[in-house]
C-alpha cells in the first residue's frame, strides 16, 4: 500500500491536534474525508486541513468514501458501532482509547477484526513517549532487576468546570477511570506484564446533577486502583481530573521500586515547569542520578515538544500508517484494548462491591 486513503470520524480539538495535524500533507497518506455531527465545526475542520469530502453521518463516509482505513476519534459510547461498521466494510481501524465501555464490546471489536482480516490499533498515546520507551528498555534489559512496586499517576484539572462533559456522563463513559485510567493501566501492563487482581476506590468530588445532559448522574472524577500483577509485583494507578493544575494542564508521574534501584519520572505537560525529569536512586547511599533520555529515542522530533514525535516518527497515527504500508499488524492492537478494559471493568465491580476482583 503506497498511499493510505484515510477518513477521520470526529472533529474535536484532540482529533485536530493528533490526527489531522499529523496525517495531512504526507506523501503516504490521502485524507479523503471527515465526518462530524456539527455542520459548522465539520466545515471549519475540513477547510482548515484541506479535506474535500465532509459527512454528517459517519456511515456515509464509510460506505462512500473510497477508504482504506478510518480513524475513530469519537466519544467512547460510539466506538463499538463505528468500528463494527468500518470492519464490515473491510476497512482498517485506528480507534481512540478506551476501546469500548466494557470488555464484552471490546472483544466483539477484536473478534470482528479477526474474522474480516483487517488491521486494528487502539490509541494508547503515551507508549510512544521517548521517556517511557527509555524506561521500558531499562526494565527489559534488567537494569532495575526485579520490580517490587510501581505507581502510575495522571493528574489534571479539566473537569473542575460546572459544565456538561461527556467523559463524566455515566451514560456515555466510565469517568476518569476510563479516560486517564485506561492510559495508566496500559502503561502498567506494557511495562510489567499482566494484571491479576484489582481493588478500586472511585470518587466523585464534583457532583454534576442539575447540569443539563447529566441526568444519568456524575461520573467518577478521581480513581485509585491497587493492583496485584501476575509477576508478583504490586501496582498503584492514581488519576484525577479535579486537581488544580495551574499552568501545567496535566502531569504524569511514575515511581518504580525495584531490586537494583528506584526510578522516579515526572512529565509536566505545559507551563513554566514543562518537561521531563528522571531520577535514579541506587541502593548503596550514592547520590541521586538525574538521567537524560538518549537522543536516539527522539529521532527527528523536538525533545522540547512532547507532541512533535507523533508527526515526525512512526508513533501514534504514523505508526498505524507505517504498519498498513508494510502489511503488518500495528501495536497496540485491539487485544491490548480488551485487556485494559477487563481491568477497568474489574475496577468498577470492585468499587461497587468493595472487594478485590480477580481477572481471568
Domain ranges for the chain, please list them: 4-123, 126-313+341-353
Give CA–CA dist 55/271, Å, rounded. Answer: 37
Domains 4-123 and 126-313+341-353 share a fold: no
Q: How does pLDDT run across 282-322, given as a tens digit for each residue?
A: 998 899 999 999 999 999 999 999 999 999 999 999 999 99
Asked if residue 250 has pLDDT above 90, the reply is yes
**pLDDT, the chain, mean:** 97
Percent of the chain with pLDDT over 90: 98
Q: What is the pTM of this model?
A: 0.97
Nine-digit cell at 81?
Answer: 458501532
Indicate whether 1 pLDDT > 90: no
The lowest-confidence range among 139-153, 169-183, 206-220 is: 206-220
Residue 65: the pLDDT is 87
Mean pLDDT of 234-250: 96
pLDDT in tens, 89-113: 999 999 999 999 999 999 999 999 9
What average pLDDT does the segment 181-206 reach?
98
Q: Are 303 and 124 in contact (CB under 8 A)?
A: no
Spatial CA neighbour of 245 closest among 169, 357, 155: 155
pLDDT of amino acid 360: 77
With CA atoms as reference, report the closest residue to 319 among 299, 305, 344.
Answer: 299
The CA dihedral of 287, 290, 295, 301, to the nearest 10 degrees, is: 170
Closest CA to 17 of 308, 245, 268: 308
Per-residue pLDDT, 239: 98
Per residue in 219-246, is it b (16+ CB within 10 Å) or e — as a string?
Answer: bbbbbbbbbbbeeebebbbbbbbbbebe
Q: According to the model, what pLDDT value does residue 341 have?
A: 98
Q: Which CATH architecture has domain 4-123?
A: 3-Layer(aba) Sandwich (3.40)
Percent of the chain with pLDDT over 70: 100
pLDDT score at 285: 87
Cell numbers 502510575 correspond to what residue? 152
302, three cell numbers: 523536538
- Kindly compute the dihedral angle of the four CA atoms of residues 161, 162, 166, 169, in this order, to the nearest 10 degrees: 130
The per-residue pLDDT for 244 is 95
Contact between residue 112 and residue 337 where contact means Cβ atoms under 8 Å apart: no
**What superfamily in CATH does domain 126-313+341-353 come from?**
Dihydrodipicolinate Reductase; domain 2 (3.30.360.10)
Do 200 and 351 touch, CB atoms closer than 8 A? yes
Average pLDDT over residues 10-14: 97
Amino acid at each position: 500500500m503506497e498511499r493510505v486513503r484515510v477518513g477521520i470520524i470526529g472533529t474535536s480539538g484532540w482529533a485536530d491536534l493528533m490526527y489531522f495535524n499529523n496525517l495531512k500533507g504526507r506523501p503516504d497518506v490521502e485524507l479523503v474525508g471527515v465526518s462530524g455531527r456539527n455542520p459548522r465545526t465539520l466545515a471549519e475542520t475540513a477547510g482548515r486541513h484541506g479535506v474535500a469530502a465532509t459527512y454528517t453521518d459517519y456511515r456515509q463516509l464509510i460506505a462512500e468514501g473510497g477508504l482504506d482505513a478510518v480513524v475513530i476519534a469519537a466519544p467512547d459510547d460510539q466506538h463499538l458501532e463505528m468500528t463494527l461498521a468500518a470492519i464490515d466494510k473491510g476497512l482498517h481501524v485506528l480507534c481512540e482509547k478506551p476501546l469500548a465501555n466494557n470488555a464484552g464490546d471490546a472483544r466483539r471489536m477484536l473478534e470482528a477484526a479477526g474474522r474480516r482480516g483487517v488491521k486494528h490499533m487502539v490509541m494508547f498515546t503515551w507508549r510512544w513517549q521517548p521517556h517511557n520507551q527509555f524506561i521500558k528498555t531499562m526494565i527489559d534489559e534488567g537494569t532495575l532487576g526485579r520490580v517490587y512496586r510501581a505507581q502510575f499517576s495522571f493528574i489534571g484539572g479539566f473537569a473542575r468546570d460546572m459544565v456538561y462533559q461527556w467523559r463524566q456522563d455515566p451514560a456515555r463513559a466510565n469517568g476518569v477511570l476510563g479516560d486517564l485510567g485506561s492510559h495508566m493501566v496500559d502503561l502498567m501492563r506494557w511495562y510489567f506484564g499482566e494484571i491479576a487482581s484489582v481493588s478500586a476506590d472511585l470518587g466523585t468530588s464534583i457532583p454534576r446533577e442539575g447540569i443539563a445532559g447529566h441526568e444519568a448522574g456524575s461520573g467518577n472524577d478521581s480513581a485509585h486502583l491497587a493492583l496485584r500483577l501476575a509477576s508478583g509485583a504490586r501496582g498503584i494507578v492514581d488519576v484525577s481530573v479535579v486537581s488544580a493544575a495551574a499552568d501545567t494542564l496535566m502531569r504524569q508521574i511514575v515511581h518504580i521500586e525495584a531490586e537494583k534501584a528506584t526510578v522516579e519520572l515526572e512529565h509536566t505537560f505545559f507551563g513554566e515547569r514543562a518537561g521531563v525529569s528522571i531520577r535514579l536512586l541506587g541502593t548503596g547511599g550514592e547520590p541521586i542520578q538525574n538521567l537524560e533520555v538518549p537522543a536516539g529515542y527522539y529521532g527527528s522530533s523536538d525533545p522540547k515538544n512532547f507532541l512533535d514525535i507523533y508527526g515526525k516518527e512512526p508513533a501514534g497515527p504514523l505508526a498505524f500508517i507505517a504498519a498498513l504500508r508494510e502489511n503488518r499488524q500495528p501495536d497496540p492492537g485491539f487485544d491490548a484494548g480488551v485487556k485494559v478494559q477487563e481491568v477497568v471493568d474489574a475496577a468498577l465491580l470492585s468499587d461497587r462491591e468493595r472487594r478485590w476482583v480477580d481477572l481471568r
